[in-house]
């Protein structure tokens, strides 16, 4: 069935629909990761976004639920050049079309994804709509659309605990749209993780006396989460070791009084090089972000821990007066997993 | 860490002649390395014995030695040049091995030379089986379980531990004789018993069998600070069991889930860290198809064929970055010049797939075993870029120049299903087509998968092609069906043929850019490939903004496609020089080629590169977009020449020799008529179409006759026929390949062969040099030792050669480069062949004469006159040096190929020998070609009847050196009659314990002279002897002329210590 992508500038791409029916309004972003589409599809940090895969052949290894990063679909819409009708992998449970229909994800294939990516790249941020009837799209409304309230949607509604097999520490995780792999990495290091809804009071979290606190996820503009930022400020004041990941990294920076700005175009993919400022070593990481902590706003209480090797933007902060650090990157390549070890060491004092 | 400022002068070792497994990719790597070093102000000293390379061009390095790549020579060069460092990882296995020998012996330390790149410790960990295994175990990496055993029981016991099937590898048997895969206890007992018997130390290795696993590779880059990245993953279409050089390979890997990919990626990085690699490294892994089990097969800590492929597939210049890393830079200090915004410490993102398809020599070596296994057999490869696997494989099938334009192989249509099933079990060069045929016949993905273990993903993609062809066969061809076909990679011609319909329209490709980053950053890399995207789907042609801005006009240069026997790196050299000359002249230059190993497909060689197949449609689409003022076909070998007619008919201007000129040189009747009108002699001959005509023609001119198909390449299927039986055998072979082909039957004249490369500006000609072959006619010019200047050409003959050459050029109305082969007999000159294009000898001759032949040819083709170009007209004066071009073969890699030289070309590469005298040049050339020139060991002689008269003379030379002579009864009789003592050796069938083969294996023989009667058939004794010699690496001379030349060197006074080292930059 024919479907269309309408950009906020009025440009229309004709393709073929697959997955769920219906229209979707969202911000449009791309990812250059060549594998890892399942992780992307179940990553809540894509909330409110239509994701374009720049690699043209998607769905090759089918749907493998143990690899999911969350129990719900992250993106609002999905665009590929070609999806694989007969996937091949020993763990595959089926193809993307069936999966998307079941999970109610709107998707489009068959368009010139490279041409589209260049438009998105040059625009910085852009809204778009997937529809069956391009003439029905209200461009003014599309332009006005703003991604908002995504953290609430991404966060767990009830607190829950994932026990480590060999428990040595307890970690409180403030869920802004966390990826399952974050919990798994902590578990693997002997950390039992209690995942709290984003709107849990700081006092309630601290009452459980966790050895450390992780703020992880998620989608949207960090600055809109004012209550959450206040909670994080309180948590930081407690002196409990803290680790901010992705949106959590930005929220922690805001809580500590630093500024956020937008990159000309985001970092989107699993090939992003970051330099560890303490060793000079460069690691390849996975990223999906448009907002970035403003290095110029840092004072003598914080220093850049990781910088992007290309544009030198902030990819991690080490706080000097509280036991806390944060990284903008997450997932994908396993190069920088040592940050979890660093967090455990921090908890051990 | 920035650049090491202590490095003022660096020695770079090239990889030497092209052989199977080590091809043009090292010219590409070396050229990048030279540039990378000089960019940083480092003086470059280069050593390479291969003259047909861009890297040995004067402009590439400060000092260039085209000298033998031997330890002795390199040591002399180091003593002379006193470099501060030596780059070890850019010259293939040859350069690496030499560097390691120099390092380990302490020579480098003694001379204060720093080893840059791969270190001995790294190499040992990678190359020594046991150290590698220990290293893997120490970092927790799985290894292929194996154990050496000395008894059958031991073998059975270990097999119980690791499970069947197991591989049995007897220790120290030649070519792995006695080994195999055992699927059961019974089979293992049999293999082990036999293997233990064959092994001189009664030992076999029992190894877990992983054939059928997925083969995955990573190209990794690591710097001295420990930063490491994977440039790309590659997945083999053929599962483990086929050498990766013989596999169809796709990048990136497509059937691995991210979890699997990240696991292998992390393992690859861990391994590279453990090895301490600095620079590029290739890691080959095997992944179980239905579990998370994996193992590492092999690690190559150097720039390789795979890294050249990965460079072209991603746009990440691995050789250049390896060089930068070797001289001190870290990856985050090196800018990615493609984006200008990112650093080289990143991993390229592809928004397309790259596919490699090997080019095998089996079309030439019809008796060679086509089986593919652990020994690589391909001579070259093509790469294709596309946004689907289907399009990529379709582009590969038509671009590999194997006579196909789709995956349908006509000769498979007639075989039974049973035969097809049997054939598919064994990997050969034709398996892809057998698989496609099986799927077309409905054997089903599941059965084909079970038979071949090729992943279902690939098979299902092939099914898309099968289904499309079925759709076309129904005769349905609307706009949608047509566009779908274009997206699947079909040419218009094939769509028309399969559907029997006219096309509803003609779709134009949307060219896409290779930018290393999947459009994340703005890039202006002028490196494109064709896709088909509907305008409604947003289809954008990214090449369009680049086109039509040239002030002086755009010129298209066609490359030469995959490297094969008969069309090697020389043509890439020629294309690149044509491009460089055109750029100098102010033209904008567009190049089309599909060979990833080459300098021509480096994206900054031409102004724009289209990585496409050299077929009529693919080329025409580029022409329609680029609208060049004309096209050069003369520098891309036969690949480009073959397109001339099509281009001409479509109104495209051919720059240089016209389509008519090329036709006249190739069309037998027209060419004969021309020579007759010019009163120039040629061997008498006829063009025939059938066996009957061929036999009649041979009767008319009299045996021996030379027979070959017209439109030949490298003497493909060319033989000297001595009898009716020969004609019958070969007509059958030729007509099987192409029943329409015309076959030429010529009188064979045994004389001296002279070769001329001339440049013609339409009026005047310049002959940069006249070459003479050491071997008399009958051996293909590519396989002969070519001597310059020609010693048999007197001043008077030179004038005659010039006069004839000029008249032929004028008669053909040639423009640009012309190559002519003559026979000289009793002061008479006969023309054998004329090619109005750049030839194999162009780089060789350009280098030794100093005449920039490609540039002159390019300039005159566009209207300039020789008189104005500074090199004059006539025969260019000879310099102070004598040069020889010595061919190099890859026989030990090709099972069952007869090593006897003849009119069909068999060499894969060449080396240069340069000296003050013929003797010095020959000595250096032979040493460079791999002859040890030892003065020990016996000489086994076995010659054909026609050579017997000359036998005593040559045998006497070896005798005077004190080398004992051996021969079979007949030969020994002749020798003894001439007063030369010789030992009789029984023939193979005469005595199983003591015969020629056992003599060779005993190590008593240093040289073999074997010219005995026609070979080819691997069952013949003479062929068996020559094959054994190839495996044992005993020099085997199949022409008395080569033997005489070699004996001359042995009798002479030259050694590797007293030859002159010639810096080409001072010539």
Residues in B closer than 8 angstroms to A333, CB to CB, are 262, 265-266, 347
Residues in B closer than 8 angstroms to A313, CB to CB, are none
- The 10s digit of each residue's pLDDT in B57-92 is 999 999 999 999 999 999 999 999 999 999 988 999
Spatial neighbors of A138 by CB under 8 A, at least 6 apart, are none
Q: Which tokens belong to A199?
A: 């709107």
Q: What angle do CA A278, A279, A281 make, to 5 degrees?
A: 125
Is B538 part of the contact surface with chain A (CB cutoff 8 Å)? yes
Q: What 3-state class would DSSP assign to A191?
A: strand
Residues A294 and A189 in one domain: yes
Q: Is the pLDDT of residue B682 over 60?
A: yes
**Are B538 and A310 within 8 A, CB to CB?**
no
Beta strands in B492-650 (DSSP E): 510-513, 527-531, 554-558, 588-592, 608-610, 630-632
Beta strands in B344-395 (DSSP E): 353-359, 380-386
ipTM, two decimals: 0.97
DSSP string, B1030-1044: HHHT--EE-SHHHHH
Residues in B closer than 8 angstroms to A32, CB to CB, are 349, 351, 517-520
**Are A111 and B537 within 8 A, CB to CB?**
yes
- CA B858/CA B124 separation, integer angstroms: 48
Q: Is the pLDDT of residue B176 over 70?
A: no
Of A108, B569, A313, A288, which is closest to residue A304 (Cα–Cα)? A313
Q: What angle do CA B497, B501, B507 make, to 5 degrees?
A: 85
Contact A29, A288 (CB under 8 A): yes
Domain CATH code at residue A68: 3.50.30.20
Percent of chain B exceeding pLDDT 90 equals 78
Q: β-pairing, B882-888 with B909-915?
A: antiparallel
Tell me which of A139-148, B121-130, B413-422, B780-789 is least confident.
B121-130
**Are A116 and B538 within 8 A, CB to CB?**
yes
- Predicted local distance difference test score (pLDDT) of residue A219: 87
A63 to chain B: closest CA residue = B257
Spatial neighbors of B1024 by CB under 8 A, at least 6 apart, are B988, B997, B1018
Q: What mean pLDDT is predicted for residues B1014-1028?
A: 76
A267 to chain B: closest CA residue = B520
- The 10s digit of each residue's pLDDT in A16-73 is 999 999 999 999 999 999 999 999 999 999 999 999 999 999 999 999 999 999 989 9
Contact B329, B530 (CB under 8 A): no
Q: Is the pLDDT of residue A329 over 80?
A: yes
- Predicted local distance difference test score (pLDDT) of residue B894: 81
Nearest to A309 among B345, B520, B521 (CB): B345
DSSP string, B432-491: HHHHHHHHHTT--HHHHHHHH---HHHHHHHHHHHHHHHHHHTT---HHHHHHHHHHT--
Beta-carbon neighbour count of residue B508 at 10 Å?
A: 15
Question: What is the band of B1014 on the pLDDT scale with cuts at 50, 70, 90?
Answer: low
Residues A99 and A170 in one domain: no
Contact B55, B34 (CB under 8 A): yes
Residues A98 and A136 in one domain: yes
B386 to chain A: closest CA residue = A56
- Predicted local distance difference test score (pLDDT) of residue B945: 84
Spatial neighbors of B205 by CB under 8 A, at least 6 apart, are B146, B147, B148, B149, B167, B168, B169, B170, B171
Residues in B closer than 8 angstroms to A268, CB to CB, are 520
> Helix crossing, B456-473 with B479-488: angle to 10°?
150
- The 10s digit of each residue's pLDDT in B821-844 is 999 998 899 999 999 999 999 999
Residues A129 and A177 in one domain: no
Q: Is the pLDDT of residue B350 over 80?
A: yes
Q: What mean pLDDT is predicted for residues B215-229?
A: 97
- Predicted local distance difference test score (pLDDT) of residue B898: 86
Give B269 to chain A, closest Cα distance, Å: 9
- Predicted local distance difference test score (pLDDT) of residue B1017: 65
Domains of chain B from N-terminus onward: 9-116 (3.40.50.20), 145-208 (3.30.1490.20), 215-348 (3.30.470.20), 358-499 (1.10.1030.10), 510-655 (3.40.50.20), 749-876 (3.30.470.20), 930-1051 (3.40.50.1380)
Residues A34 and A178 in one domain: no
- Predicted local distance difference test score (pLDDT) of residue B548: 87
B222 to chain A: closest CA residue = A282
Give A70 to chain B, closest Cα distance, Å: 15
- CA B639/CA B230 separation, integer angstroms: 35
**C-alpha of B809 from chain center:** 31
**Are A34 and B350 within 8 A, CB to CB?**
yes
- Predicted local distance difference test score (pLDDT) of residue B718: 73
Domain CATH code at residue A267: 3.40.50.880
Q: Is the pLDDT of residue B174 over 70?
A: no
- What are φ and ψ of residue A218, in 5° steps? 180, -165
Spatial neighbors of B680 by CB under 8 A, at least 6 apart, are B804, B807, B808, B831
- CA A302/CA B864 separation, integer angstroms: 69
Percent of chain A exceeding pLDDT 90 equals 95
- What is each CA distance from B18 to B24, B380, B401, in whole angstroms? 7, 10, 20
Residue of B257, B261, B314, B534 to mutate, testing the A interface (most A Cβ within 10 Å of its Cβ) = B257
Of B946, B968, B941, B910, which is closest to residue B1044 (Cα–Cα)? B941
- Predicted local distance difference test score (pLDDT) of residue B777: 87
**Are B332 and A275 within 8 A, CB to CB?**
yes
Contact B64, B44 (CB under 8 A): no
Of B327, B223, B318, B302, which is closest to residue B10 (Cα–Cα)? B327
Give B403 to chain A, closest Cα distance, Å: 29
**Are B520 and A32 within 8 A, CB to CB?**
yes
Contact B556, B631 (CB under 8 A): yes
Q: Is the pLDDT of residue B1015 over 90?
A: no
- Predicted local distance difference test score (pLDDT) of residue A7: 98
- Predicted local distance difference test score (pLDDT) of residue B173: 67
Of B1066, B1055, B1067, which is closest to residue B68 (Cα–Cα)? B1055
Considering B89-93, B168-172, B327-331, the range whose residues carry the highest mean pLDDT is: B327-331
B458 to chain A: closest CA residue = A88
Q: Is the pLDDT of residue B1045 over 90?
A: yes
Q: Burial code of B650-686, b = ≥16 C-beta within 10 A, e = fewer?
A: eebebbbbbbebbbbbbbbeebeebbeeeebbbbbbb
Q: Would residue B282 be called left, alpha or beta, if left means φ above 0 and alpha means ψ between -120 and 50 degrees? A: beta
**Are B262 and A84 within 8 A, CB to CB?**
no
The domain boundary, picked from A147, A165, A197, lies at A147
* Parent domain of A29: 2-147
Q: What mean pLDDT is predicted for residues A293-311?
A: 97
DSSP string, B650-705: TTPPEESS-HHHHHHHH-HHHHHHHHHHHT-----EEEESSHHHHHHHHHHH-SSE
- Predicted local distance difference test score (pLDDT) of residue B973: 94
Q: What mean pLDDT is predicted for residues B387-400?
A: 98
- Predicted local distance difference test score (pLDDT) of residue A172: 98
- CA B335/CA B312 separation, integer angstroms: 18
- Predicted local distance difference test score (pLDDT) of residue A239: 96
Residues A171 and A275 in one domain: yes
**Are B518 and A67 within 8 A, CB to CB?**
no
Residues A75 and A212 in one domain: no
Give B1054 to chain A, closest Cα distance, Å: 54
- The 10s digit of each residue's pLDDT in A192-249 is 999 999 999 999 999 999 999 999 988 889 999 999 999 999 999 999 999 999 999 9
- Count Cβ atoms within 10 A of the Cβ of residue B764 and give its class: 0-12 exposed, 13-18 middle, 19 or more buried: middle
Residues A121 and A262 in one domain: no
Q: What 3-state class would DSSP assign to A173?
A: strand
Give B512 to chain A, closest Cα distance, Å: 8
Residues A121 and A191 in one domain: no
Q: Which tokens belong to B54?
A: 């861009």
Is B998 part of the contact surface with chain A (CB cutoff 8 Å)? no
Interface of B with A in 232-291 (CB under 8 A): 252-259, 261-262, 265-266, 269, 289-291
Q: Is the pLDDT of residue B638 over 90?
A: yes
Nearest to B341 among A116, A310, A333 (CB): A310
Beta bridge partners, A28, equal A50
Question: What is the band of B127 on the pLDDT scale with cuts at 50, 70, 90?
Answer: confident
Torsion angle, alpha carbons of B166, B171, B176, B180, to 10: -20
Of B687, B685, B698, B750, which is closest to residue B727 (Cα–Cα)? B698
HSE value, Cβ hemisphere, 13 Å, CA-based, for B271:
36
Give B239 to chain A, closest Cα distance, Å: 15
- In this complex, how many residue pairs, one in chain A and one in chain B, have their CB atoms less than 8 Å apart? 171
A88 to chain B: closest CA residue = B457
Contact B634, B816 (CB under 8 A): yes
Residues in B closer than 8 angstroms to A13, CB to CB, are 536-538
Compute the mean pLDDT over every residue in chain B, rounded to the nearest whole number: 93
- For chain B, the 3-state helix, strand and coil shares in percent, each to the nearest 5, are 40, 20, 40
Nearest to A34 among B252, B291, B537 (CB): B252
Nearest to B538 among A30, A64, A112 (CB): A112
Q: What mean pLDDT is predicted for residues B791-818?
A: 96
Question: What is the band of B338 on the pLDDT scale with cuts at 50, 70, 90?
Answer: confident
Nearest to B519 among A34, A54, A67 (CB): A54
Contact B884, B912 (CB under 8 A): yes
Nearest to A121 among B387, B510, B519 (CB): B519
Q: Is the pLDDT of residue B946 over 80?
A: yes
**Are A82 and B388 within 8 A, CB to CB?**
yes
* More confident site: B802 or B200: B802
Q: What mean pLDDT is predicted for residues A122-135?
A: 94
Residues in B closer than 8 angstroms to A81, CB to CB, are 387
HSE value, Cβ hemisphere, 13 Å, CA-based, for A275:
20
Residues A40 and A187 in one domain: no
Interface of B with A in 421-480 (CB under 8 A): 455-457, 460
Q: Which tokens belong to B80?
A: 């002379």
**Are A310 and B342 within 8 A, CB to CB?**
yes
Q: Which tokens belong to B168?
A: 């049995």
- Count Cβ atoms within 10 A of the Cβ of residue B730 and give its class: 0-12 exposed, 13-18 middle, 19 or more buried: buried
As for how many domains chain A has, the answer is 2
**Are B342 and A332 within 8 A, CB to CB?**
no
Q: Which tokens belong to A191?
A: 């950390």
**Are B350 and A55 within 8 A, CB to CB?**
yes
Question: What is the band of B179 on the pLDDT scale with cuts at 50, 70, 90?
Answer: confident
Is B512 part of the contact surface with chain A (CB cutoff 8 Å)? yes
Nearest to B387 among A56, A87, A90 (CB): A56
Is B332 part of the contact surface with chain A (CB cutoff 8 Å)? yes
Nearest to B345 among A57, A89, A273 (CB): A273
Q: What mean pLDDT is predicted for residues B927-952?
A: 92
Give A285 to chain B, closest Cα distance, Å: 9
The domain boundary, picked from A147, A174, A195, lies at A147
**Are A269 and B518 within 8 A, CB to CB?**
yes
Rg of chain B over Cα atoms, rounded to whole angstroms, equals 29
Q: Which tokens belong to B930?
A: 């791999």
Give A106 to chain B, closest Cα distance, Å: 18
Contact A293, A253 (CB under 8 A): yes
Q: Is the pLDDT of residue B416 over 70?
A: yes
Contact B568, B840 (CB under 8 A): yes
Residues A25 and A96 in one domain: yes
**Are B352 and A116 within 8 A, CB to CB?**
no
Helical segments of B978-1035, H only: 996-1002, 1021-1032
Q: Is the pLDDT of residue B740 over 70?
A: no
Interface of B with A in 689-718 (CB under 8 A): none
Q: Is the pLDDT of residue B1016 over 70?
A: no
- Predicted local distance difference test score (pLDDT) of residue A97: 98
Compute the mean pLDDT over every residue in chain A, rounded to the nearest whole number: 96
- The 10s digit of each residue's pLDDT in B703-730 is 999 888 775 544 556 788 888 988 888 8
**Are A112 and B540 within 8 A, CB to CB?**
yes
Question: What is the band of A297 on the pLDDT scale with cuts at 50, 70, 90?
Answer: very high
**Are B290 and A90 within 8 A, CB to CB?**
yes
- Predicted local distance difference test score (pLDDT) of residue B119: 85
Q: Is the pLDDT of residue B930 over 80?
A: yes
- Predicted local distance difference test score (pLDDT) of residue B170: 83
The domain boundary, picked from A115, A147, A179, lies at A147
**Are A81 and B387 within 8 A, CB to CB?**
yes
Of B312, B302, B304, B307, which is closest to residue B338 (Cα–Cα)? B312
DSSP string, B801-843: HHHHHHHHHHHHT--EEEEEEEEEETTEEEEEEEESS--TTHH
- CA B1023/CA B1026 separation, integer angstroms: 5
Q: What mean pLDDT is predicted for residues B519-545?
A: 95
Helices (H) and strands (E) in chain B, counts: 35, 40
Q: Is the pLDDT of residue B214 over 80?
A: yes
Question: What is the band of B558 on the pLDDT scale with cuts at 50, 70, 90?
Answer: very high
- Count Cβ atoms within 10 A of the Cβ of residue B998 and give its class: 0-12 exposed, 13-18 middle, 19 or more buried: middle
Residues A42 and A186 in one domain: no
């Amino acid at each position: 069935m024919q479907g269309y992508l309408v950009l906020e500038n009025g440009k229309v791409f004709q393709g073929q629909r697959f997955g769920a029916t219906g229209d979707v309004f969202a911000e449009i972003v791309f990812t250059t990761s060549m594998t890892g589409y399942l992780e992307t599809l179940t990553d809540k940090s894509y909330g409110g976004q239509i994701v374009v895969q720049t690699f043209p052949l998607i769905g090759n290894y089918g749907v493998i639920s143990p690899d999911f990063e969350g129990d719900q679909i992250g993106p609002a819409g999905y665009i590929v050049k070609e999806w694989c009708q007969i996937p091949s992998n020993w763990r595959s449970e089926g193809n993307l079309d069936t999966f998307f229909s079941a999970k109610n994800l709107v998707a489009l294939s068959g368009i010139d994804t490279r041409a589209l990516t260049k438009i998105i790249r040059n625009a910085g941020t852009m809204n778009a709509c997937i529809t069956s009837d391009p003439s029905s799209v209200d461009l003014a409304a599309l332009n006005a659309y703003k991604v908002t309230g995504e953290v609430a949607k991404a966060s767990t509604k009830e607190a829950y605990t994932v026990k480590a097999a060999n428990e040595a520490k307890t970690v409180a995780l403030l869920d802004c749209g966390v990826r399952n792999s974050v919990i798994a990495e902590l578990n693997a290091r002997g950390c039992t993780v209690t995942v709290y809804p984003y709107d849990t009071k700081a006092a309630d979290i601290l009452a459980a006396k966790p050895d450390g606190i992780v703020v992880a996820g998620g989608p949207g503009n960090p600055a809109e989460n004012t209550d959450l930022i206040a909670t994080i400020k309180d948590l930081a004041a407690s002196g409990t070791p803290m680790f901010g990941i992705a949106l959590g990294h930005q929220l922690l920076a805001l809580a500590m009084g630093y500024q956020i700005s937008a990159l000309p175009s985001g970092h989107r993919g699993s090939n992003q090089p970051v330099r560890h400022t303490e060793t000079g070593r460069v690691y390849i990481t996975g990223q999906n972000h448009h907002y970035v902590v403003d290095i110029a706003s840092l004072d003598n209480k914080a220093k850049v821990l990781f910088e992007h090797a290309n544009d030198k933007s902030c990819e991690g902060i080490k706080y000097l007066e509280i036991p806390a650090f944060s990284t903008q990157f997450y997932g994908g390549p396993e190069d920088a997993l040592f940050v979890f070890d660093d967090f455990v060491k921090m908890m051990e004092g | 860490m920035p650049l090491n400022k202590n490095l003022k002068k660096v020695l770079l070792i090239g990889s030497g002649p092209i052989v199977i497994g080590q091809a043009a990719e090292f010219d590409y790597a070396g050229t990048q390395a030279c540039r990378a070093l000089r960019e940083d102000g480092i003086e470059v000293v280069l050593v390479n014995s291969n003259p047909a390379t861009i890297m040995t061009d004067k402009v590439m390095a400060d000092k260039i030695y085209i000298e033998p790549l031997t330890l002795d020579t390199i040591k002399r060069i180091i003593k002379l040049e006193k470099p501060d460092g030596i780059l070890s990882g850019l010259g293939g296995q040859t350069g690496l091995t030499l560097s390691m020998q120099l390092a380990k012996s302490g020579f480098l330390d003694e001379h204060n030379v720093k080893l840059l790149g791969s270190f001995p410790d790294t190499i040992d960990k990678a190359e020594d089986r046991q150290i590698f295994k220990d290293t893997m175990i120490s970092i927790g990496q799985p290894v292929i379980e194996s154990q050496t055993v000395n008894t059958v029981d031991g073998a059975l016991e270990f097999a119980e531990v690791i499970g069947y099937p197991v591989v049995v590898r007897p220790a120290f048997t030649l070519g792995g004789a006695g080994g195999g895969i055992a699927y059961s206890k019974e089979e293992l007992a049999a293999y082990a018993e036999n293997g233990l018997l064959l092994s001189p130390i009664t030992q076999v290795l029992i190894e877990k069998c992983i054939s059928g696993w997925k083969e995955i590779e990573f190209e990794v880059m690591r710097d001295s600070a420990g930063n490491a990245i994977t440039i790309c993953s590659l997945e083999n279409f053929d599962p483990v069991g086929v050498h990766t050089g013989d596999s169809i390979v796709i990048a990136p890997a497509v059937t691995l889930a991210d979890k699997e990919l990240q696991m292998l990626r992390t393992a690859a990085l861990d391994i590279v860290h453990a090895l301490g690699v600095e620079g590029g490294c290739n890691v080959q892994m095997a992944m179980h198809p239905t579990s998370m089990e994996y193992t590492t097969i092999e690690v190559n800590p150097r720039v390789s064929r795979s890294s050249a492929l990965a460079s072209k597939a991603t746009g990440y210049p691995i050789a250049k970055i390896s060089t930068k890393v070797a001289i001190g830079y870290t990856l985050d200090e090196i800018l990615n010049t493609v984006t200008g915004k990112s650093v080289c410490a990143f991993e390229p993102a592809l928004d397309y797939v790259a596919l490699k398809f090997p080019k095998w020599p089996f079309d030439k070596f019809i008796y060679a075993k086509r089986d593919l296994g652990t020994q690589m057999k391909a001579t070259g490869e093509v790469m294709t870029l596309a946004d689907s696997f289907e399009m990529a494989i379709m582009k590969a099938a038509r671009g590999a120049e194997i006579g196909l334009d789709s995956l349908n192989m006509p000769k498979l249509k007639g075989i039974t299903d049973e035969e097809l099933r049997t054939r598919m079990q064994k990997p050969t060069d034709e398996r892809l087509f057998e698989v496609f045929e099986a799927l077309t016949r409905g054997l089903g993905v599941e059965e084909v998968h079970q038979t071949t273990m090729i992943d279902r993903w690939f098979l299902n993609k092939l099914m898309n092609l099968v289904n499309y062809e079925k759709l076309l066969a129904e005769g349905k061809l609307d706009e949608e069906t047509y566009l779908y076909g274009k997206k699947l990679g079909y040419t218009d011609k094939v769509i028309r043929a399969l559907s029997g319909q006219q096309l509803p329209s003609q779709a134009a490709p949307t060219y896409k850019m290779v930018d290393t980053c999947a459009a994340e950053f703005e890039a202006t890399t002028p490196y494109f490939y064709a896709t088909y995207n509907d305008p409604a789907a947003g289809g954008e042609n990214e090449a369009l903004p680049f086109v039509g801005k040239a002030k002086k006009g755009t010129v298209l240069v066609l490359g030469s496609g995959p490297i094969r026997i008969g069309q090697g790196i020389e043509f890439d050299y020629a294309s690149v020089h044509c491009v460089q000359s055109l750029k100098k002249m102010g033209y904008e230059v567009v190049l089309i080629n599909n060979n990833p190993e080459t300098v021509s497909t480096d994206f900054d060689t031409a102004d724009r590169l289209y990585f496409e197949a050299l077929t009529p449609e693919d080329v025409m689409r580029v022409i329609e977009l680029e609208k060049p003022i004309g096209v050069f076909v003369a520098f891309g070998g036969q690949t480009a020449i073959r397109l001339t007619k099509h281009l001409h008919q479509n109104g495209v201007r051919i720059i240089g020799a016209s389509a008519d000129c090329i036709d006249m040189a190739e069309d037998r009747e027209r060419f004969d008529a021309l020579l007759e009108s010019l009163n120039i002699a040629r061997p008498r001959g006829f063009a025939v179409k059938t066996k009957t005509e061929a036999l009649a023609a041979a009767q008319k001119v009299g045996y021996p006759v030379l027979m070959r198909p017209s439109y030949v390449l490298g003497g493909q299927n060319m033989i000297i026929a001595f009898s009716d039986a020969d004609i019958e055998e070969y007509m059958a072979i030729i007509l099987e390949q192409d029943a329409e082909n015309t076959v030429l039957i010529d009188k064979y004249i045994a004389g001296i062969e002279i070769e001329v490369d001339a440049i013609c500006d339409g009026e005047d000609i310049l002959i940069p040099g006249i070459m003479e072959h050491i071997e008399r006619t009958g051996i293909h010019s590519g396989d002969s030792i070519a001597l310059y200047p020609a010693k048999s050409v007197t001043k008077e003959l030179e004038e005659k050669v010039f006069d004839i050459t000029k008249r032929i050029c004028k008669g053909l109305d040639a423009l640009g480069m012309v190559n002519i082969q003559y026979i000289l007999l009793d002061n008479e000159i006969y023309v054998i062949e004329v090619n109005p294009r750049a030839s194999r000898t162009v780089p060789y001759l350009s280098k030794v004469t100093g005449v920039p032949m490609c540039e002159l040819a390019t300039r005159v083709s566009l209207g300039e006159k020789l008189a104005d170009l500074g090199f004059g007209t006539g025969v260019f004066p000879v310099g102070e040096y004598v040069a020889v071009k010595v061919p190099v073969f890859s026989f030990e890699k090709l099972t069952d190929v007869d090593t006897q030289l003849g009119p069909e070309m068999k060499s894969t590469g060449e080396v240069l020998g340069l000296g003050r005298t013929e003797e010095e040049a020959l000595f250096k050339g032979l040493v460079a070609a791999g002859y040890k020139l030892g003065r020990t060991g016996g000489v086994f002689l076995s010659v054909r009847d026609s050579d017997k008269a000359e036998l005593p003379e040559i045998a006497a030379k070896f005798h005077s050196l004190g080398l004992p002579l051996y021969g079979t009864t007949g030969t020994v009789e002749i020798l003894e009659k001439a007063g030369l003592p010789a030992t009789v050796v029984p023939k193979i069938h005469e005595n199983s314990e003591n015969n020629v083969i056992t003599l060779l294996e005993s190590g008593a023989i240093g040289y073999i002279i074997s010219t005995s009667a026609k070979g080819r058939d691997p069952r013949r004794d003479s062929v068996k002897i020559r094959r054994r010699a190839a495996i044992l690496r005993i020099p085997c001379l199949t022409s008395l002329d080569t033997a005489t030349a070699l004996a001359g060197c042995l009798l002479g006074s030259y050694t590797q210590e007293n030859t002159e080292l010639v810096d080409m930059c001072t010539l």
